[in-house]
């Protein structure tokens, strides 16, 4: 199986959540998946709107092959470019088209981030037919501020 490295932005939010870009970087690696990189991360919106993962990273899943291997590097810089000191966790989401669903929360390797994460998620697919699933990740600080989604 060939894996693909996909560069994307994963901002760590300090101060006002969800509205500032970051200089942090995240590398996603989807093991054995067909991956397409076509765009940037979406902003998390407040309110009742359904949140969707960006189309940037997709994998193929089926009932016979429902797992996706996701690897990435935690962010290590805050929005202002200073070293991160309050990373709490990262969250991996999948989206089958009806909105994102939390697959796994991963505690931060350390509050300064930069840890190498490698996780396998299971997507509950009932169909034997292969279908695309979008994957995205967020980072959350100790105050509960969640970053924008990244592919």
Q: Flag whether 150 is in a domain.
A: no
Q: Flag whether 57 is in a domain.
A: yes
Give the chain's domain count: 1
Structure tokens at 120: 């396998």
Q: pLDDT of 31-66, one tens digit each?
A: 443 332 222 233 334 455 899 999 999 999 999 999
Consecutive H or E run containing 61: strand 58-61
Structure tokens at 11: 């901002």
CA distances from 142 to 22, 84, 104, 109, 145 (A): 17, 11, 18, 13, 7
Q: Flag whether 15 is in a domain.
A: yes
Taking the C-alpha atoms of residue 87 and residue 76, their distance in angstroms, rounded to an integer, is 8
Q: Flag whether 70 is in a domain.
A: yes
* Low-confidence winner among 61-65, 79-83, 84-88, 130-134 (lowest mean pLDDT): 79-83
Taking the C-alpha atoms of residue 89 and residue 75, their distance in angstroms, rounded to an integer, is 10
Q: Flag whether 147 is in a domain.
A: no
Q: State the burial class of residue 98 (Cβ atoms within 10 Å of its Cβ: 0-12, 13-18, 19+).
A: exposed
Q: Flag whether 33 is in a domain.
A: yes
The answer, as to whether pTM is greater than 0.95, is: no
Q: Flag whether 35 is in a domain.
A: yes
Taking the C-alpha atoms of residue 114 and residue 26, their distance in angstroms, rounded to an integer, is 9
pLDDT-derived band at 1 (thresholds 50, 70, 90) equals very low
Res 30: pLDDT: 52
Contact 121, 67 (CB under 8 A): yes
Q: Which domain holds residue 92?
A: 4-141
Q: Flag whether 130 is in a domain.
A: yes
């Amino acid at each position: 199986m060939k894996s693909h490295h996909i560069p994307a932005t994963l901002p760590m939010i300090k101060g006002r959540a969800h509205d500032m870009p970051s200089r942090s970087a995240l590398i996603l690696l989807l093991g054995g998946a067909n991956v397409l990189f076509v765009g940037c991360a979406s902003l998390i919106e407040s309110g009742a709107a359904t949140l969707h993962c960006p189309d940037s990273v997709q994998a193929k899943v089926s009932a016979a092959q429902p797992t996706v291997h996701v690897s990435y590097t935690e962010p290590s810089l805050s929005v202002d470019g200073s070293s991160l000191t309050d990373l709490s966790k990262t969250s991996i989401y999948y989206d089958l088209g009806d909105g994102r669903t939390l697959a796994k929360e991963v505690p931060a390797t350390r509050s300064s981030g930069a840890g190498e994460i490698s996780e396998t998620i299971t997507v509950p697919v009932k169909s034997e037919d292969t279908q695309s699933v979008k994957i995205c990740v967020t980072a959350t600080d100790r105050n509960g501020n969640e970053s924008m989604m990244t592919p």
